[in-house]
Structure formats: structure tokens, C-alpha cells
Amino acid sequence: MEYLRPQRSAIILVALIAALGTALALAGPYLMGEAIDQLVGRDLTKLARMSLLMLAAYALSSVAQLIQGVLLAGIAQKAMRNLRAALFERLQNLPLSFFDTRQQGELMSRLTNDMDAISRVLTDNAAQLFTGILTLIGILGIIFILSPWLALGSMLVFPLMIGLVGIVGRLTRTAFRDYQTRLGTLNAVLEETYSGQRVVLAFGQEKAVLERFDAANQEVRTVGVKAMTLALLIMPMMGILSNLNIAVLCGLGGWLAIKGLVTIGTIAAFITYSRRFAEPLRQLGNLYNQVQAALAGAERIFQLLDTPVEPEEATGKELPRVAGKVEFDHLHFSYIPGTPVLTDICLHASPGERIALVGHTGAGKTTLVNLLSRFYEQQDGTIRIDDHDIRNVSRDSLRRQLGVVLQQSFLFSESVLENIRYGRLDAGDEEVFEAARLAHADGFIRRLPQGYDTLLSERGSNLSEGQRQLVTIARAILADPAILILDEATSSVDTRTEIEIQKALNQLMKGRTSFVIAHRLSTIAHADQIIVIDKGRVIEQGTHKTLLARGGTYQRMYTNQFRDQHTTGDRTEEMLQQTRTPDR
């Protein structure tokens, strides 16, 4: 109702047209009864007049229904547009932690299947619901005016009809809610399998994937059969009760006609009204089932709309252009209460410094930069940029100061040009080209079929992993940030491309505070500070030379990596020697 309220005037107009159409439709059986009585009395002139009036009533009723349907479709679709926009906006403002515990396919099911269930009710069924209620009220009034005794006879069956709708409807709603949930799970399986299709094929897991899909599909089928069976019970049971009501009317009406209390035309009108009364009840029973399905979807949609967004502090002010001083002061963080991920982190980065974060997988490196970006909110301790507590500034102004290149590159289904321009939407084409040149991406981009105008497929899958990473680096360069976050930015490129990118990044990092997460320790040898993190704690801190001289964890990591690289190189050379063909 909240999303329909802005269209109150249009809804009132539709209600008036629906009331007029219903009144005209209900006049038909009354005019038919009058026509029968005129036929019995052999008054052909009045018979012709009644017939023409009946024709006009039904024709105008049909026109009213057509106009009402067109207007209601516009109202419903506008409301659905606003609801979809509100849901999408809410998803954009939910914290990252919300998506960590949700499956993408299940969320997409809410945006599609659940929305469709509501749309069908508003577009196709709202008019029937309104006119059905008007019809029931109108018929009740007319039949009591025509013959109170016959009307009371009709009332014997109607309570059974209404009770049936209520009982079956409650059961149906529960079943449809379960159905929508299972359908969301099935969509999640589909989305995950599609996204990981290369992995499925690479490991030959097609059979396992099919079994998983079949299990989810079978659950949808089982719950769907239950929901549809309950929904289909309404119509035949209402038909039985409707026929029972006609039998009652024929017996009671015949007896009253013999006594001279009603005319034959009145009995015919009653039978028609009885059928008309049962028809909206049957429709309402069917609509009730569809409404239950829509309500089940609406519960899931409004559950998202009621999810708290990222809290924006009342004192959240605009962060001015910063020099790049960053301080982590006794920082603590955990995703799950009681399981710390970061413990008492204290770091200081001066403007323009390059800070390398190293450590084993899961040590907490990415979590640290996620907190700096406010993808998650710190729990204890403080993060300051140029002496500004980042909790007291708006997220938008903070993130405009940051340039982020993630380990997993993500590109949109747009042109290469627009993917790079995503870093700064007001950038001109020449600025985009320059950013691509600095990222050493200009060469391969110009060799694409349409160059910078080449459209990328979903997630940029028509580019290699290295090319995708180059485009994301160009995007970060274009953003011209004060602080850079490079999370394994060169991990997916070959050695030659890595050298070229490293040169561009070295140029880019001049004068900017940079946080570099790297597993290849050779790439961070010239960092101003190297921070070694283990199990969420800073265990070593210093330059490359001082840490090597200390002979601690960093020295062991570097020595092991250096030895592994040489071992791999020797094995590769040995394999090449074995495969070479002797000279002839």
C-alpha cells in the first residue's frame, strides 16, 4: 500500500470505473428476469426493451472492465518499478558482511521470482479482487430485495464457501512460502554452477553438479506439488457447493412459485445471481492462493528492505583531500564474536610511504585494508587518515580518496573504455587512454576487435586474467587517489607483464601512500616498511634489509620462496632439456 499510495487519484478513478462496471453487470440478471416475466405475459414490446437494456448493460460493463484493466496495469507497473528501485537501492547500501552470508542466486530470486509473484497479483488479479468483492456485496443486496426467503435459502451454503476459502488459504500460504524459499535455493545452485563452470569441467564434476541440481530441483517439485494441490482444491470444492446451492434454490423457488410468492423470472434471476455469487467466490479462492504466493514473496522482499543499511554517523562530514598519513591505533576486529582476526594492530604510514603487508594466507592482511576502506566497521581501536577518525567522515568521501585493485579483478558488461572510466566517471577519453598507457594496457586494448569500444562479456570473460587485471589497474590509475590499496595486484600476470606493471605502479605510487599486499616478496623489496602479520598480530616491522638481517619470520619466508623459485626454474630447465631434439 505504501508504494501504491502516491497514485491515489488513479486508484480512486479505477475504483469508480470498477463500481460502475460491476453495477452494469449485476443489472443484467435482473433485466433477464424481467424479460422472462414479460415473455410469460406475452408483452413483446417490453420484452424487446428489456433485451436491449440487457445488451447495453453487458456491453458497457465490458468497456468499463477494459478501461479499468488498462489503468490498473499502469498503476501496478509504476508501483513495481518503485519497489524494484527501492530494493536495488537497499542492496547497494547494505554492509559487505550481509553478502558474506547470502547466496547470490537466492538474492536474485527475490529480485525476480518474488517480484513477479507480486506483479502478477497487482496487474492481473487486483481488479478481479476488487470487482469480486463489489459483486458479492451487490448480489447480496439485490437478492434480499427480490425475495428474502430465497436469499435466506442461499445463505445456507455461502458460509461453507467462505470457511473453505479461509482454511485452504492459510495452508496454501505456508506451502507457497516454502516453495519460494526452495526456488531461491535452486536459483543459488544454478548461479553458483554457472559461475564456476570452468572449475566443474576442469575437475570432471559434471555428475556431482547434476546430482546436486537434481536434489534441489526435486525439493522444488515436491513443495510445488503440495502448494499447487492445495491451490487447486478450491475450484472443484466451490463448484460442488455452488451446484448444491442451485439445487436448494430450484426446490425452494419452485415451492414459493406454486404458492404465488415469487415469479418464474425471479427464480431465473436468482439462479443466475447464485452462479454469479459462486463465480467471484471461486475467483476469490483462486486469487487468495495467488495472493498467498505474493505475500510469501513480499515477506522475503520486505525482509531485505527492513535490513539495516550501513549506519552513517550523524557527524559524518566530508573528508577533504588528504596528504596520506594513515594510523592504525590498537585495532581489534573479528568477524565472529570470540574469534579474533586482528589483535592490537598499531601501524603508522607517513604521506607517500609504501607499506607492504606480508604473511601467510588468512593472517589478516586483506581484513586490514578492508577496515581502512570501511567495507567493515572496526570494533575496537581507531583508524585515522590525516588525523581524521574515519568513523567520523562519510564513506563516499573516504572511498574517493582510495584507489583499490583487488586480487580478483571484476569487470562489467560494458566497453573497455567505460570499464576504465568507472574509476572516475567525469574523465575524458584522453585521460582514459593515458591511464591505460600507464598500466601497460593500451597495446592489447588497441588490438581488440573494436579497440576501446570492444564490449566485454559477463565479468570480462573474453579477456585473459592478466588483461582483466591490467584494466582494473588502469581504472585505479584514472581515479587519481591519495591512498592506494593493491591486493595482489600483479598475482595473475606473467613475469614480463608483471615487470611492466611494476614500473607503472612505481610511477603511480610516487607521492601516494600505498598499501601493498604481496605474496611474491621480490616485488616489495623497495617498500619503505614491510609489515609481517601472523594470526592477526604484527610480529615484525622494518625494511627489506633490516628484516633479512634480523633472521626472523620474514627472512625464512624470503629464503624459502627464493629457494622454491630456483628449484622450479631448475626443474623447468631439466624438462626443456629432455624434450629438445638432438641436432642433425
Give the model confidence (pLDDT) of 180-198 as tens digits: 788 878 887 887 777 677 6
pLDDT at 562 over 80: no
Compute the 3-state secondary structure of the chain and give helix, strand, coil in percent, each to the nearest 5. Answer: 65, 10, 25
For residues 477 and 94, what is the distance between their CA atoms, to the nearest angstrom? 27
pLDDT (0 to 100) of residue 357 = 92
Burial 209-241 (b: 16+ CB within 10 A, else e): beeeeeebeebbeebbebbeebbebbeebbeeb
Beta-bridged to residue 348, according to DSSP, are 327
* pLDDT for 480 beyond 70: yes
Q: Tell me: pLDDT of 570 over 60.
A: no
Task: Compute the CA torsion angle 565, 569, 572, 574 (nearest 10 deg).
Answer: -130
Residue 43 has what pLDDT? Answer: 67
The pLDDT confidence band at residue 72, using thresholds 50, 70 and 90, is confident
* pLDDT > 70? residue 573: no
44: pLDDT strictly greater than 80: no
Cell readout for 418 is 567505460
Q: What is the pLDDT of residue 569?
A: 47
Instruction: List, by residue range, all CATH 3.40.50.300 domains of the chain.
Output: 326-544
Residue 325 pLDDT > 80: yes
- Which distant-in-sequence residues (6+ apart) come within 8 Å of 479 by Cβ? 403, 423, 424
Q: pLDDT band at 489, cuts 50/70/90?
A: low
Identify the pLDDT of residue 384: 92
Mean pLDDT of the chain: 80
404 compared with 533, residue with greater pLDDT:
533
Q: What cell does 527 get? A: 617498500
Closest listed residue to residue 169, CA positions, set 299, 281, 288: 288
DSSP string across 199-259: HHHHTT-HHHHHHHHHHHHHHHHHHHHHHHHHHHHHHHHHHHHHHHHHHHHHHHHHHHHHT
Among residues 174, 96, 56, the alpha carbon closest in space to that of 367 is found at: 96
Half-sphere exposure of 141 (CA within 13 A, CB side): 9
Q: Among the ranges 239-243, 565-569, 571-575, which has the highest mean pLDDT value?
A: 239-243
CATH of 5-305, one of 1.20.1560.10, 1.10.287.3510, 3.40.50.170, 1.10.10.10: 1.20.1560.10
Lowest mean pLDDT among 136-150, 325-339, 371-385, 432-446: 136-150
Which residue, 54, 27, 55, 51, is CA-closest to 39? 51
pLDDT at 346: 92
Range of weakest confidence among 211-215, 282-286, 501-505, 580-584: 580-584
Buried b or exposed e, range 421-446, using 16+ CB within 10 angstroms: bbbbeebeeebbbbbbebbbbbebbe
Cell of 405: 585493485
- pLDDT tier at 575, thresholds 50, 70, 90: very low
Would you place residue 581 in the very low, low, confident or very high pLDDT band (cuts 50, 70, 90)?
very low
- The angle subtended at Cα 391 by Cα 385 and Cα 394, nearest 5°, is 90
Considering the domain 326-544, what is its CATH architecture?
A: 3-Layer(aba) Sandwich (3.40)
CA dist., res. 150 & res. 78, Å (int): 45
Q: What is the pLDDT of residue 433?
A: 92
Tens of pLDDT, residues 496-543: 666 766 776 776 777 889 998 887 787 788 889 999 999 889 999 999
What mean pLDDT comes out for the span 382-395?
Answer: 89
**145-159, 177-191, 307-321: which has the highest mean pLDDT?**
177-191
Q: Residue 579: what pLDDT?
A: 39
Mean pLDDT highest for which of 18-32, 146-160, 216-230, 341-355? 341-355
Tell me the C-alpha distance between 375 and 129, whole Å.
46
Radius of gyration of the chain, Cα coordinates, nearest whole angstrom? 36
pLDDT digits (tens, 9 = 90+) for 134-145: 887 887 787 777
| pLDDT level of residue 362 (50, 70, 90 thresholds) | confident
For residue 129, the tally of other CB atoms under 10 A from its CB is 18
Instruction: Give the number of other CB atoms < 10 A from CB of residue 541.
Output: 17
The region of weakest confidence among 223-232, 245-254, 284-293 is: 284-293
Please give the single-letter amino acid code of residue 334: S
Residue 531: per-residue pLDDT: 92
pLDDT at 506: 75
Would the pTM of this model clear 0.75, i.e. be above it? no
Give the Cα separation of 467 and 235 in Å (integer).
60
Distances from the Cα of 186 to the Cαs of 99, 296, 358, 499, in angstroms? 18, 17, 40, 45
Task: Return the pLDDT at 261.
Answer: 76
Question: What is the spatial distance between Cα 175 and Cα 177, in angstroms, rounded to a whole number?
Answer: 5
pLDDT at 327 over 90: yes
Determine how many CB atoms are found less than 10 A away from the CB of residue 453.
12
Q: What is the DSSP string of 529-547?
A: EEEEEETTEEEEEE-HHHH
- CA pair distance 126, 285, nearest whole angstrom: 13
